[in-house]
C-alpha cells in the first residue's frame, strides 16, 4: 500500500532479527523508532498493529513490547492504533488485549465479537481529545449506525457481561494453554503459545533447529481432517501452525476433549517420517 512501511513483528520464536529474548533488548520494538527516523517523524501519522497477532499464528508479544511502542509513539508524536478486531471483547481474557500490557491506544478498531459475530458490525474508538481536534467528523457512510446491527451489538455486550464470558476466557484459557503444553511430547511440536482463547501449536521438522516443515506437505491440513473424525474443528495458518480460538463459553471438559483429540492426531502423524 502506498505510503505504508513495516517493521519486524514481535515473533520471538522466529525472530526476523535473529535475536533471542531477553538479550535482544526488544529490538522489534526499537525498530519502530529507527523506522520513524528513517521515514521522518513529520511523515509518520500512525503505527497500527494487533496487540496479539491473530491470524498470523496467535502470537502474544513479550510484556515489554507494547509499553515501549507506546513510549516511542509519544516521543515522536505518532498515533498508536490497536487493531482489536480479533483480540477485542474477551478473546484474550480481558475486554481488550491492550489491557494485558497496561497500554491505552489513541485509536482502536473493533468488529467481530462486538456483535457476537451474528450481525456484521464494526466500530472505531478515538481518544476524546483527538476527536475535538477534528475540524469536521463526517458520519455519512451508507450503513453507519445501522439500527439492527447496533441493537445486536448492545445485546451481545450485555450477554458477555452477564455470563462473565471474559472471566471464563481468562480462566479456561489458562487451563487450555497448560493442557496444550503437554503436546510437547510430540517431536513435531515446536512451540505452544497463546493468551486467553487465542492459542496456537506451531509444527516443525526439527525442534532443536526450529527448521520449518515444508508447507507443501500439508501436515496441518491433514491434522484438521483427522480432528473432524473426533468431532473437533480447528484451523491452520500457513499449513504449519494449528490455531485454536474456541468460543468464550468453552468449559474445561471441552478443553479436555479438544486437547485429547489433538494429542491422538499428533501421535499418529508423529510416527510418520516427514521428508521434503
Where exactly are the structural domains of the chain?
12-162, 165-270
| CA–CA gap between residue 123 and residue 84 (Å, rounded) | 10
Q: Are 85 and 111 in contact (CB under 8 A)?
A: yes
Q: What digits encode the pLDDT tens for the residues 225-247?
A: 999 999 999 998 888 999 999 99
DSSP 52: S
Element (H, E) at 257: helix 252-270
Q: What digits encode the pLDDT tens for the residues 111-139?
A: 999 999 999 999 999 998 888 887 776 66
Best CA proximity match to 232, nearest among 194, 202, 196, 261: 261
Grid cell digits, residue 246? 474456541
pLDDT at residue number 276 = 44
User: Does 12-162 match 165-270 in CATH topology?
Assistant: no
* Average model confidence (pLDDT) across the chain: 94
Q: Are 20 and 202 in contact (CB under 8 A)?
A: no
What pTM was computed for the model? Answer: 0.92
pLDDT at residue number 275 = 47
pLDDT in tens, the chain (276 residues): 889 999 999 999 999 999 999 999 999 999 999 999 999 999 999 999 999 999 889 999 999 999 999 999 999 999 999 999 999 999 999 999 999 999 999 999 999 999 999 999 999 999 988 888 877 766 677 888 899 999 999 999 999 999 999 999 999 999 999 999 999 999 999 999 999 999 999 999 999 999 998 888 889 889 999 999 999 999 988 889 999 999 999 999 999 999 999 999 999 987 764 544
| CA–CA gap between residue 44 and residue 145 (Å, rounded) | 30
Grid cell digits, residue 79? 498515533
pLDDT at residue number 273 = 44
End-to-end CA distance of the chain: give it in Å, rounded: 35
Grid cell digits, residue 191? 512451540
Q: Given 3.40.640.10, 3.40.710.10, 3.40.50.1460, 3.30.70.100, which CATH number is that of 12-162?
A: 3.40.640.10
| CA–CA gap between residue 25 and residue 252 (Å, rounded) | 37
Say if domain 165-270 classifies as CATH 3.90.1150.10.
yes
Q: Write the CA distances from 125 to 68, 80, 86, 113, 143, integer angstroms.
A: 22, 12, 15, 15, 17
| CA–CA gap between residue 45 and residue 49 (Å, rounded) | 14
Element (H, E) at 125: strand 123-126
| CA–CA gap between residue 5 and residue 44 (Å, rounded) | 10
Amino acid at each position: 500500500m502506498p505510503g505504508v512501511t513495516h517493521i519486524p513483528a514481535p515473533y520471538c520464536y522466529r525472530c526476523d532479527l535473529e535475536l533471542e529474548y531477553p538479550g535482544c533488548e526488544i529490538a522489534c520494538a526499537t525498530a519502530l523508532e529507527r523506522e520513524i527516523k528513517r521515514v521522518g517523524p513529520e511523515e509518520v501519522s500512525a503505527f497500527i498493529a494487533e496487540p496479539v497477532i491473530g491470524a498470523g499464528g496467535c502470537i502474544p508479544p513479550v510484556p515489554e513490547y507494547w509499553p515501549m511502542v507506546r513510549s516511542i509513539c509519544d516521543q515522536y508524536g505518532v498515533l498508536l492504533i490497536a487493531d482489536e478486531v480479533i483480540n477485542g471483547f474477551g478473546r484474550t481474557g480481558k475486554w481488550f488485549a491492550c489491557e494485558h500490557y497496561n497500554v491505552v491506544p489513541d485509536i482502536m478498531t473493533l468488529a467481530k465479537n462486538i456483535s457476537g459475530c451474528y450481525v456484521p458490525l464494526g466500530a472505531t474508538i478515538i481518544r476524546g481529545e483527538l476527536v475535538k481536534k477534528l475540524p469536521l467528523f463526517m458520519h455519512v457512510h451508507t450503513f453507519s449506525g445501522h439500527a439492527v446491527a447496533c441493537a445486536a451489538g448492545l445485546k451481545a455486550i450485555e450477554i458477555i457481561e452477564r455470563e462473565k464470558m471474559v472471566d471464563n476466557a481468562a480462566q479456561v484459557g489458562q487451563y487450555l494453554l497448560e493442557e496444550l503444553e503437554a503436546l510437547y511430547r510430540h517431536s513435531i511440536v515446536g512451540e505452544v503459545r497463546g493468551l486467553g482463547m487465542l492459542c496456537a501449536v506451531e509444527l516443525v521438522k526439527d525442534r532443536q533447529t526450529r527448521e520449518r516443515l515444508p508447507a507443501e506437505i500439508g501436515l496441518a491440513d491433514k491434522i484438521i481432517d483427522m480432528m473432524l473424525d473426533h468431532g473437533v474443528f480447528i484451523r491452520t495458518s500457513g499449513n504449519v501452525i494449528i490455531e485454536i480460538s474456541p468460543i468464550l463459553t468453552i468449559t474445561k471438559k471441552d478443553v479436555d476433549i479438544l486437547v485429547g483429540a489433538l494429542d491422538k492426531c499428533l501421535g499418529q502423524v508423529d510416527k510418520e517420517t516427514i521428508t521434503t
